[in-house]
Amino acid sequence: MKNRQMKKIALPVACLLACMVLPARADQALATSKNCLACHQVDKKVIGPAFTDVAARYGGEPDAVDKLARKITMGSVGAWGAVPMPPNVGVSELEARTLAAWVLSRK
């Protein structure tokens, strides 16, 4: 009886964990496919700021996803120094919002 109860609990817990982990992996794959990681890393500055630094700066703002999505699609200059971030014309609005939310979760 105890084994059957454990199975009833284990499957929903496994599904919940998968739902939490898989989107993060999918969003990192999106960041890789859109060449974000050519200039950014999660935890260290490369050409652009680390995603953890971006999350720390913008994470408390209520419109942070919208703001970062605009920067991703339209480009940006001056927010992190003199090196501009070019517009990412190959990133859709939905992809930009997905990437922005993923970056903000990198706290």
SS (H, E, C) 86-100: CCCCCCCHHHHHHHH
We report the CATH number of the domain holding residue 33 as: 1.10.760.10
pLDDT digits (tens, 9 = 90+) for 9-67: 554 544 444 444 445 677 889 999 999 999 999 999 999 999 999 999 999 999 999 99
pLDDT score for 16: 42
Domain count, the chain: 1
What is the predicted pLDDT for the residue at 62? 93
* Domain range enclosing 11: 2-104
Instruction: State the pTM of this model.
Output: 0.76
SS3 of 83, please? coil
Give me the residue label for tokens 């454990």.
Answer: 6
Q: What pLDDT sits at residue 21?
A: 44
Other Cβ atoms closer than 10 A to 82:
6
